[in-house]
């Protein structure tokens, strides 16, 4: 990230389905209920959620610039969107983000981004929503970034960006498929199925639209997570597919001051979860970077 620039994210709930937002083709006129912004050094981003027993459970990356390691927090709201509680539900030694949550076979599942661990891991709720256990028999061939699963025409599909250079992480869209959620997973022979800095990295929930899939992706041409590009995936099979961009969504003026970016659009029943960005030019983050560097230097000098 450039010097004297800090990306700060704010998570919001839109009281409209993702399908209706995509039909409108704009976020103008949709008023977010903002949640979870802590202060300049902490924020919530990458929101995903689901309804259970008339409560909305939002799972998001809880990031702190002082530690530079994301954890997964859960925020619970009742049917009137009144806040109930917040809890830390998943933490690992490595950075976690993009906590896709869904139900399948009578269980709750979470697929967080964790490519710095060297692998993609699947978790199942041992006690929803607070306790999650890693599935040992899940294996994925790539340490996928922002993996976005969907069951479509008899197969599980996973859309993701591969680990690699900074540009590849933001511009390459890949796919994999399996008969079962836990695998074995096979990479699509056409990977990357799309390579474009404006529409390559996944940014939310895949949505079935007839015989096609609509996938939110991030537009990173001017800034990381600058906008959402909706990619239509057509003719999807284990051997082929085509992709095209249908819509580009930006944070409208009504979102001010959160108008510098938008990089998640996820469906949760009749509501949609988003995050929007403001760019701060405060030196505070850099002061903590220097402090952390001095502490590490002192540790190496005086073991």
CB within 8 A of 235, min separation 6: which ones? 241, 242
Q: Say whether pLDDT at 110 is over 50.
A: yes
For 4-62, write each residue's pLDDT tens digit. Answer: 688 999 999 999 999 999 999 999 999 999 997 666 789 999 999 999 999 999 999 99
- The answer to whether residues 248 and 261 touch, using CB atoms and an 8 Å cutoff, is no
Q: Quick one: pLDDT at residue 36?
A: 74
Q: Quick one: pLDDT at residue 208?
A: 98
For 83-96, write each residue's pLDDT tens digit. Answer: 999 999 999 999 99
pLDDT, average across residues 191-195: 98
Take residue 47 and report the two structure tokens written for it: 């929101």
pLDDT, average across residues 201-217: 98
- The answer to whether residues 103 and 86 touch, using CB atoms and an 8 Å cutoff, is no
Tell which residue, 109, 200, 115, 184, has the closest CA to residue 149: 109
Q: Which domains does the chain have, with CATH numbers?
A: 6-301 (2.115.10)
* Full-model pTM: 0.92
Instruction: Map tokens 């049917």 to a residue.
Output: 79
Q: Quick one: pLDDT at residue 5?
A: 80
For the chain, how long is the longest CA-to-CA vector?
63
């Amino acid at each position: 990230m450039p010097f004297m620039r800090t990306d700060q994210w704010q998570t919001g709930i839109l009281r409209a389905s993702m399908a209706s937002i995509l039909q409108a083709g704009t976020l103008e006129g949709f008023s977010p209920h903002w949640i979870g912004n802590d202060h300049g050094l902490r924020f919530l981003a990458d929101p995903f959620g689901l309804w259970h027993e008339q409560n909305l459970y939002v799972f998001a990356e809880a990031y702190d610039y002082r530690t530079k390691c994301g954890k997964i927090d859960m925020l619970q709201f009742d049917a009137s969107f009144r806040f109930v509680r917040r809890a830390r539900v998943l933490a690992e030694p490595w950075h976690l983000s993009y906590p896709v949550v869904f139900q399948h076979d009578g269980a709750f599942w979470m697929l967080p981004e964790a490519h710095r661990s060297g692998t993609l891991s699947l978790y199942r709720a041992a006690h929803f929503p607070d306790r999650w256990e890693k599935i040992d028999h899940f294996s994925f061939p790539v340490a996928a970034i922002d993996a976005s699963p969907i069951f479509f025409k008899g197969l599980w599909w996973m859309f993701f960006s591969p680990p690699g250079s900074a540009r590849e992480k933001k511009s390459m869209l890949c796919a994999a498929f399996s008969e079962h959620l836990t695998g074995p997973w096979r990479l699509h022979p056409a990977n990357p199925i799309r390579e474009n800095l404006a529409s390559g990295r996944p940014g939310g929930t895949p949505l079935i639209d007839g015989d096609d899939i609509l996938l939110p992706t991030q537009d990173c041409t001017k800034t990381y997570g600058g906008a959402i590009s909706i990619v239509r995936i057509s003719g999807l099979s284990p051997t082929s597919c085509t992709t095209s961009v249908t819509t580009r969504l930006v944070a409208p003026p009504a979102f001010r001051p959160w108008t510098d970016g938008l990089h998640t659009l996820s469906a949760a029943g009749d509501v949609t979860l988003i995050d929007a960005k403001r760019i701060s030019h405060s030196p505070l983050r850099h002061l903590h970077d220097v402090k952390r560097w001095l502490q590490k230097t002192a540790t190496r000098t005086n073991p």
